[in-house]
Amino acid sequence: MAETFDPRGLAARLHSLRQAGRQEETGTFALPADLHQAMEAQNFLTAADGISSNAWKVTVSPQGQAVTGPLHPYAEAASGASVPWYPGMKFETEIAVRLGRDLPIRTGTPYSRADVVEAISAVHLGAELLVSAVSEGGSVSFLLFTSDRLGNSGYVLGPKLDKSAVDTAGGTPLKVTHGGRTIYDGPAQHPKGDVLTWLVDYANDGLRPETSLKAGALITTGTLSGAIELTEPGEIDILFGDSRLHFSVSKV
């Protein structure tokens, strides 16, 4: 029942499973009844994970509600990044944007795409790693998946790109190798066509926290390569147009 939902208890269980590198089926969890409860649990999980980085992912629920979650562990490839590997881990090539100014909640005219672009100070190539403590991910309960930080299990920030990449990313040649084996080779393709769709949706969400989308925040915008399972640890090399990102996923 909604009145007995314990967000702290759910977060503690998700944290414990993540620490152990384990997954459980959706039916074994007490489910949040709405987005508010899901975000309460996510906030407790964020605290349990000791997350302090100002880096976020944004996506949209099956009902069209924009949602966000923190990226952790967060690393920058220039420092020789390595992210822990877990069984079932998936990888996505992404574009990340850094905000140069706040996008406060608006009650009047909604933000246009041009408004959001104007607020962006830098664009980067990035890679997201995903493993959920929920074995079905978000396919059964997207609210539970939201509680579990939308499945994020790491992010590596790569080199700066020209700001125009937010307009031209789709169709850019993209090749990814894992342990020397090619796992993606084709044009970059975002699920919505436009890498900024979900960020614009979130900017216009009147229910988002007042503290969200502040200057300095880094937001990753969704996959350009689909989600590719990494069956073992190894080196990852991404070539996006003329930009390269190299890092490793390593057994814990």
Residue 48: how many CB atoms within 10 A of its CB? 16
pLDDT over threshold 90, residue 182: yes
Helix/strand/coil for 181: strand
pLDDT over threshold 90, residue 129: yes
**pLDDT, average across residues 227-231:** 96
pLDDT over threshold 50, residue 15: yes
Domains of the chain and any CATH numbers: 53-251 (3.90.850.10)
Alpha-carbon gap, residue 225 to 11, rounded angstroms: 30
pLDDT over threshold 50, residue 1: no
- pLDDT tens, position by position, 60-80: 999 888 999 999 999 998 767
The sheet with strand 234-240 has its strands ordered as 82-85, 243-251, 234-240, 173-178, 181-187
Q: Which of 9-18, 170-179, 205-214 has the lowest mean pLDDT?
A: 205-214
pLDDT over threshold 90, residue 252: no
Spatial CA neighbour of 69 closest among 31, 14, 115: 14
pLDDT over threshold 50, residue 126: yes
Alpha-carbon gap, residue 162 to 217, rounded angstroms: 18
Q: Token pair for residue 184?
A: 């993606």
Alpha-carbon gap, residue 66 to 61, rounded angstroms: 6
Q: Rounded to an integer, what is the distance from CA 206 to the centroid of its chain?
A: 21
Instruction: Kindly report the average pLDDT of the chain as a whole number.
Output: 94
Residue 171 region, left (φ>0) first, then alpha (ψ -120 to 50), else beta?
A: left
pLDDT band at 3 (very low <50, low <70, confident <90, very high): low
pLDDT at 199: 97
pLDDT over threshold 70, residue 237: yes
**pLDDT, average across residues 170-192:** 97
**pLDDT, average across residues 215-234:** 96
pLDDT over threshold 90, residue 2: no
**pLDDT, average across residues 170-190:** 97
Report yes or no: 67 and 59 within 8 Å, Cβ to Cβ: yes
The upper half-sphere exposure of residue 153, i.e. CA atoms within 13 Å in the direction of its Cβ, equals 30
Which phi and psi (to 5°) does residue 35 adopt? -65, -35
